[in-house]
Structure 1
Amino acid sequence: MGRAEERRARQKGARRAKKGADKSGKKTGIRRFFTWKMVLGYFLSMGLLLIGAFLVLYFMVDVPNANALAKAEANIYKYSDGSIMAKTGDVNRESVPLSKIPKEVQHTFVAAENKDFYSDPGVSFTGTARGIINTLLGRGKQGGSTITQQYVKNYYLSQEQTVSRKLKELVISLKVDQQQSKDDILAGYINTSYYGRNAYGIQAAARAYYNKDVSKLSVAQGAYLAAVLQAPSQYDFSVAGPNGRRLVQQRWNYVLDNMVEKHWLDAGERKGLTFPKPIEPRAIPGMDGQTGYFVEAAKQELFKAGVSEDELAAGGWTITLNIDKKKQKALEKAVHTQLTSKLKPKTRAVDGHAQVGAVSVNPKNGAIVAMYGGSGATKHWTNNATREDYQPASTFKPLILAAALENDSTTQDGQPIRANTVYDGDSKHPVKDDGGEVGFAPPNEDNKDYGPINVQKAMNNSVNSVFAQMAVDVGLDKVKKTATALGMNSKAGGFDVAPAMSLGVMGASPKDMAGVYATLDNHGEKVTPSIVKSAEKGGESAQLPDTTGGEVISRTAADSVTSVLTGVVDEGTGSAVRQKGQAMAGKTGTSDENKSAWFTGYTPDLVTSVGMFGEAKGGKQVTLTGTAGGGRVNGGGFPAEIWGAYMGAALDGKGSSKFDLDTDMGAAVPPPSSTSPTTPPTSASTDPTTSPPPTSESPTASSSPPTTPPTTPPTTGGESPTDNTTPPTTPPTSPSLDTRSLRTKQRGHG
């Protein structure tokens, strides 16, 4: 063999080695098992198997009858004793032919959900595959279905997120697309979808959101209804939060832009459209009086517990509430006799602005045993018992004391904060931190100066200057942390970490405050008010969250606050509720410009919060001054009178005569037999009538006037100071405090 032939032989051997073959030409390594022909064969075989399986499934699955939701049952709501309160859930639906729905409104739904609806085969294989994968991965609900698939899910199947349901949906959708016209499918989808507000189908939705027949809907209104389908509760513009409103407007714009893209809407007309705000929600028939408030509150709790809107709307639920019929009747009667019977809105405009909300809670288990939401759900849809847009004012002061006791806080001069600790109680006394003024000097009620005053008396008389200084002594962050741990909503409007926090300028509801005080009553163990006792369907129960449990502040701190609050009832601003032989603790509150007034209080057996709110047309907050022909309204007036009348009837003489307290301070603790020492004790009980003299326990802030006048909050009515038209000066800032809200929230509260 010549050299050239040898070289060619070596090259040929090398090529064989690269291709996985030995010198004899046999394949070696992985190529013994896989070649491109074999891989292609594997894929073809797998594809044929999947096609075969799908064909078997296709011929096995028939188009079923309508599902349970299409024939929904009623939900039954019961009182705590098992008697029926209301029946709801009969589907509020009136199916209409597609010919009655304006063409451009029809197109809004196609543009929102499935732009290629008129040309697709009824399914989206990629969307279904994505949904199956996400279901297997536990990612919950996923989009991507066609209108046909959504109609099939609504009318023939269920809302469960399982692989088998999705495969059935795919097969049935293909068959429905072959058996029915696109118009029939679109009509079925529009008529079976849930729009919120208990409205099924576009006709009910048109009346619920715009109070008009579907044939009268504009393209802009149709686009809103198409948009709201994505999240009915979150996207209801009238009751949605800022984020929900932003999202539904984005969705509305998306729908109209898609219509322009598909040439269903002229670009010029699109540009001229404005967002069509829906009307305020109206209660469904039979939901008048307090019943509508109960049902809506129960639904919201169930949604939070994991019951979906679709599941609840399908009906068949038996929902038992914690509402006690006897106590509920007593609460409604108390509101009527103490306030509403005295109102004359036809002759006194201010009387038409008075709103009342109240919640009564069992502190042992968190059960809401009575609730007053307003004049009636069909008259005033907003539930005054759960709204968080009014200030709780001085009912917040006990939380400052709770934070002080929980954190073993001291005054500016190092004295432990206790019931007998003395502060400077003069009106507009400058609040100090580390020896420097922070630019906050709240007035007291009627600008009254108290001079040196102990914490017990300051709570009894709701002295603003004392608790403003105490909040800074404790630390504003610690005060907020304790307040939220007790049950206040940290995201409520106005809950800024600033000295004005001490005046209760954040938003809170009677339900919130009832929960906070119930936690104090329960010796620091968290209590979360709940209206739902149980919810059952088909032998299965909804998993409701625990309403009690977990210490959020120590028993000593909680019991000490309770002890102090007995003084408010015994000889303070809450004396109107005092009842012989009944242990009571509570606190009054009156907000800026007399727009709200409160009394929140408790016995060992029952906690009740009553709020009174000034609300003009459109939800504008207005003053309560002049209500029922009187002057300013304070927490010790109508709210306390309602509270006292209700609690007397609800307890019916069976309440406890004393609290079981683990504390050595406050009004509930008998004063020492000897004369109070001149040097303040670090741990002692104090009778408000025998507080230590100021000679040894000086106020925490200097009584000398500041060289630069501090900012003075505008004064208010009720427990707060009288009106003062002198404009406040610009507040100085302090590096040790966040004074962000001082410009707008320095207010007098009592």
Structure 2
Amino acid sequence: MLGTFFGLCLLAVGAFVALYVLVDVPAANATAKKQSNVYKYSDGTLLARAGEVNREIVDLDVVPEDVRKAFVAAENKTFYQDQGVDLKGSARGLFNTVSGKGKQGGSTITQQYVKNYYLTQDPTISRKVKELVIALKVDRRMDKDDILAGYMNTAYYGRGASGIQAAAQAYYGVDAKDLDLSQGAYLASLLQAPSQYDWAIASATGKKLVTERWGYTLDNMVEKGWLDDSERAGMTFTVPREPRAAPGMEGQAGYLVEAADEELERQGVSEEAREAGGWTITLNIDKQRQKELEKAVDRQLESQLDREGNKIDATVQAGATSVDPTNGEVVALYGGVSATRHWISNATRRDYQPASTFKPLVLASALENRSKTQSGSLIGLDTVYDGTSRRPVVGSDIPFKPQNEDGRSYGDISVQTAMDRSVNSVFAQMVVDVTPSTVKRTALDLGMPDKGFPAVPSITLGTMNASTWDMAGVFATLDNHGKKVNPHIIKSAEHRDRVAKPVDGTGGQAISRSTADTVTRSLTGVVDNGSGHEADSAAYDAAGKTGTSENNKAAWFAGYTPELTTVVALYGESAEAGGGQVTLTGTANSGRANGGGFPARIWADYTRGALNGGSAATFDLEDVEHGESGITQAPVTPPARTGEPERTQPPGTEPPARSPSRSPTRERPSAKPAPSRTTEPAPSASTTPPAEPTDPAEPTAPVDPADPPDERPGRGGDGPLGQ
């Protein structure tokens, strides 16, 4: 019998040696290395988490030392002395498994780490034997602190949280680095039974048990000399907060995350690398400005739409991008009603035309290249053009004669007035004078996307495709005195293994300061006196341009102050399956939804909020180029048209003078808390009721006291191809 006993012992030892030799440490299991990507606002507060597993791996030195010791005290007091296994606990676990008595207990931290990281949770004999062998090998190969870090990062804490960082957020709303000892002791105690010990759903018994285990953990720390008796005596249990849903992709979060992911892709972080998780991505999005943009869209547009009962209102999509012109940071973005309801981001989509928001680029190209009219006059703000509607351009091999809005003719008007009223015929001739290829080159230098749009006269009406993101970059470059601005949404993107290269928010001089400042001077007139008057306010100094594409399928307002550049657009998108572009006419029962309406009102409402009620900053403009006055060519007499207004001035004379820019003596708020929303409510459709339009589908002209009552120009002067 003694021989048999020793024989069996030798056989067991031999079998174990064989297992030790044959069982290798495997690669990590698929789940153990998965992490979520964490997206944060610019101030570091959480925006969203994305990924299959709610886990963010952190280094051990990030976790406070007393919290680390709490985990050791709770799970494995001898962790720093043992060989990685607890033979008694393992034997007990094997017996319980064989006898059907349920879950194993008594595993060391090393064994639990092996189970979580290398194996599975299956309670089988083979898995438990492998766990024992691999734990011995891991303990010999790895530093104890690395094992502890692996354990804390792979353990499941309940509430969908894997790892100490996600658990700290789920139970206490803080990062792991900010846990105190009482909170850490609870999380360490929780691991024994996450569902039973979650305070929010625990029974009275569960609460009693976890409280006792919390005390047991702290007592063990006193026993090990890691905690003073007096400090232990004064500690109280910290109740976790109520469960909250992890920030998801609803609302604007999904659009912001999508824009960040697309930028990471451009910076060389592949989709595969992103999906592996572990990225902490801090955006340039200003939390307060983001809220102001969302509220502005709600107040000025959504509150006036009947999406359920009105077929036209159901087609309206809004998008916006707001950029800091000094550094290119995208500080706010509006992608649509919700990323879970409308999958395409209206802020970054490029399937609609920017319309007359392109006209300032035509002027910029004329100024930058010192272009001249057909009669040899240098083009500037005072240069006079013929504003007759459907006037054929001169000097082009491609015939072109666009119609002004409402078919209105203006006679001989200055470039400044043509910009104020967005007169198509003037800019049609200007693009020919500059040459379309030269204009296109300037547009690309300013940041227009190169999608192969043809260099033909019609580009003056913005017939290419662009997004609010693209146009925000273009107008921010004008705002930045011609120095190139590259919109970017990521402030930093970090992973344990790498850091993504940040975008350079500014570049070289795209156009001269003189050119950019002259265009800005012109665009202040659009806000003061022209089609963008809905954006005008004493609360800020502003420049901008309206735009309405062919058949009213898109309406734009691109504007800026010295501190902020924002582009807002409305798109008509069919609500039927397959989508498709449709007209915006009739939106909120307001007739033609041009750029000077809803987009300009959204822009104004947002800008006041984003600037904390207002700003005393004014444009610092230098070297404004006025060009040479004079008629570009012999006036063209248009064919007789029913209802077409007569010219307001004889040929060859300048119309009544308008200030092309804001008066330097105009009062400005002396401090940012300048007019509040209560003293100056955001403009709305009801505050400026239109008069009877000449065409029921077209907007009404604003009253200009300089014009005779029967010869007032149409609103903005935009024609069917771009306001």
Q: Report the Cα offset of residue 91 of structure 1.
A: 4.9
Which whole-Å CA distance do the structure 2 matches of 1:588 and 1:546 have between them?
Answer: 29
CA deviation digits over 1:723-745, x for unaligned, max 9?
A: 99xxxxxxxxxxxxxxxxxxxxx
| Correspondences of 1:42-81 after superposition (within 5 Å) | 64-66=26-28, 71-81=33-43
Match for residue 378 of structure 1 among 340, 345, 360? 340
Q: 2:377 — aligned with what?
A: 415
Superposed displacement of residue 499, structure 1: 1.1
CA-CA distance at 1:517 after TM superposition? 0.1
Q: Quote the Cα distance in structure 1 between the aligned partners of 2:31 and 2:392.
A: 64
CA distance in 2, matches of 1:489, 1:444: 27
Instruction: Verify: 1:589 aligned to 2:547, yes or no.
Output: yes
Cα 1:542–1:67 change in 2 (3 A) is: farther
1:703 paired with 2:636, answer yes
For residue 116 of structure 1, what is the aligned residue in structure 2?
none
Distance 1:485 1:619 in 2: 33
Contact 2:398 2:456 (8 Å CA) reproduced: no
2:611 to 627, 639, 651: 651
One-letter amino acid of the structure 2 residue matched with residue 391 of structure 1: Q
Alpha carbons of 1:580 and 1:550: their partners in 2 closer, same or farther (altered >3 Å)? same
* Gap regions ≥5 residues in structure 1: 1-58, 93-154, 157-283, 667-680, 683-691, 708-719, 725-745
| Paired position in structure 2 for 1:390 | 352
- Contact (CA 8 Å) 2:48, 2:247: kept in 1 or not? no
Question: Quick one: which amino acid aligns to residue 550 of structure 1?
Answer: G
Of residues 641, 654, 666, the one that matches 2:601 is: 641
Q: Which of the numbers 504, 509, 517 marks the counterpart of 2:475?
A: 517
Alignment of 1:521-532 (within 5 A): 521-532=479-490
The one-letter code sitting in structure 1 at the alignment partner of 2:545 is K
Q: Alignment partner for residue 85 of structure 1, among 42, 47, 51?
A: 47
Superposition deviation, residue 484 in structure 1? 1.0
- Mapping of residues 348-747 of structure 1, within 5 Å: 348-433=310-395, 438-491=398-451, 495-538=453-496, 540-616=498-574, 617=576, 618-665=578-625, 682=628, 697-700=630-633, 702-704=635-637
2:326 & 2:451 partners in 1: Cα distance?
27
For the residue of structure 2 that corresponds to 1:405, the secondary structure is helix
Deviation per CA, 1:140-159: give whole Å up to 9, x if none: xxxxxxxxxxxxxxx99xxx
* One-letter amino acid matched to 1:643: W
CA distance in 2, matches of 1:67, 1:475: 63
* Residue 653 (structure 1) shift: 3.6
Amino acid at match of 2:560: Y
In the TM superposition, what whole-angstrom CA distance separates every residue of 1:69-127 from its partner, at most 9, and x where no partner exists? 763111111000000111112359xxxxxxxxxxxxxxxxxxxxxxxxxxxxxxxxxxx
Q: C-alpha distance in 1, partners of 2:624/2:547?
A: 26
Give % identity: 56
CA positional deviation for 1:655: 2.2
TM-score calculated relative to the size of structure 2:
0.58
* Cα deviation, residue 540, structure 1: 4.0
Q: Does 1:298 align with 2:256?
A: no
8 Å contact kept, 2:388–2:638: no
Q: CA deviation at 1:573?
A: 0.4
TM-score (norm 1): 0.56
Q: Residue deviations 1:517-539, cap 9 Å, x none?
A: 00000111111111111001127
Q: Describe the SS at the equivalent of 1:541.
A: coil
Render the CA deviation track for 1:425-480: whole Å, top value 9, x for unaligned. 010011010xx674210010111110000000000000000001000100100101
| Cα 1:454–1:61 shift into 2, 3 Å | farther
Do the aligned partners of residues 747 and 721 (structure 1) sit closer, same or farther apart at CA in structure 2, a change above 3 Å counting? farther
Amino acid at match of 2:527: V
Counterpart of 1:472 in 2: which secondary structure?
Answer: helix
Is the aligned partner of 1:748 residue 2:682? no
User: Aligned AA for 1:500?
Assistant: S
Superposed CA offset, 1:296-316 (max 9, x none)? 110110011011222211111
How far did residue 491 of structure 1 move?
A: 0.5
**What RMSD in Å do the two structures reach over aligned CA positions?**
2.7
Q: Which amino acid aligns with 1:365?
A: N
Q: 2-side partners of 1:478 and 1:614: how far apart?
A: 32
CA drift of 1:317 comes to 1.1
Measured after TM superposition, the shift of residue 657 of structure 1 is 3.6
Q: Which amino acid aligns with 2:512?
A: S
Are the equivalent residues in 2 in contact too, given 1:445–1:722 (CA < 8 A)? no
**Paired residues, number:** 440
Gaps of 5+ in 2: 1-20, 55-116, 119-245, 641-692, 698-718
- d(CA) in 1 for partners of 2:372, 2:265: 44
CA distance in 2, matches of 1:60, 1:561: 77
| Aligned-pair CA distance for 1:68 | 6.9
SS in 2 for 1:419: coil
Residues 1:310 and 1:437: Cα distance change in structure 2 (over 3 Å): closer
Please state whether the residue corresponding to 1:589 is helix, strand or coil.
strand
* Contact preservation (8 Å) 2:488, 2:503: no
CA–CA separation in structure 2 for the residues paired with 1:583 and 1:310? 46
Kindly provide the amino acid, as one letter, of the partner of residue 632 in structure 2: P
- 1:700 offset after TM fit, Å? 3.7
Aligned residue for 2:419, secondary structure, equals helix
| Amino acid paired to 2:451 | K
Alignment-mate amino acid for residue 592 of structure 1 = E
> How far apart, in 1, do the equivalents of 2:253 and 2:273 lie?
21
The 1:69–1:298 alpha-carbon spacing in structure 2 relative to 1, beyond 3 Å, is farther
Find the aligned partners of 2:599 and 2:266 in 1 and give their Cα distance: 31
Distance 2:255 2:40 in 1: 14
Shift of 1:395: 0.3
Residues in 2 aligned to 1:654 and 1:60: alpha-carbon distance in whole angstroms: 74
Corresponding residue of 1:332: 294
Q: 2:283·2:492 contact (CA, 8 Å) conserved in 1? A: yes
How has the CA–CA distance of structure 1 residues 61 and 295 changed in structure 2, closer, same or farther, with 3 Å as cutoff?
farther
SS of the equivalent of 2:262 reads helix
1:186-225 C-alpha deviation (Å, 9 max, x unpaired): xxxxxxxxxxxxxxxxxxxxxxxxxxxxxxxxxxxxxxxx
Contact 2:354–2:465 (8 Å) recurs in 1:
yes
Q: Is the 8 A contact 1:603 1:656 kept in 2?
A: no
1:542 aligns to what SS in structure 2? Answer: coil
How far residue 654 of structure 1 moved from its aligned partner, in angstroms, is 4.6
Partner secondary structure for residue 550 of structure 1: strand
* Aligned residue identity for 2:425: S
1:545 alignment partner AA: V
Alignment check: 8 A CA contact 1:78 1:319 kept: yes
